[in-house]
Amino acid sequence: MEAYFLFIFIFAIAALLGFELITKVPPTLHTPLMSGSNAISGITIVGAIACARLGEGFLSQAIAFFAIAFAMINVVGGYLVTDRMLASFKKKGK
């Protein structure tokens, strides 16, 4: 139970940090920010990979495969799209 208390604790602190991190964002960056943080939510890839273990049943490994693939679509697609959007800002040499 104590480990779980710690988890709830860091969850709360991390959420507060998230609120504080982005109190001021210029509207220009709303879409890239949404897209960039969307890519970060693909962090679930780490959980998906941890589920792919040798010596487990077919069903669980099939689920792990799809979890990895879907999370990876989110990660790769999300970062590439964000990069594309931000690259158009960069061009102006600011």
1 binds another protein, rule: CB under 8 A: yes
Give dist(CA 63, CA 77) in Å, integer. 21
CB of 58 to another protein, least distance (A): 10
3-state secondary structure of 24: coil
Site string for another protein, 52-91 (x = CB under 8 A): xxxxxx-xxx-xxxxxxxxxxxxxxxxxxxxxxxxxxxxx
Query: What residues numbered 12-41 form the site for another protein, per CB under 8 A?
Result: 12, 14-19, 21-41
d(CA 33, CA 82): 8
In one letter, which amino acid is 30? H
Give the number of residues written for the chain. 94
Smallest distance from the beta carbon of 43 to another protein, in angstroms? 4
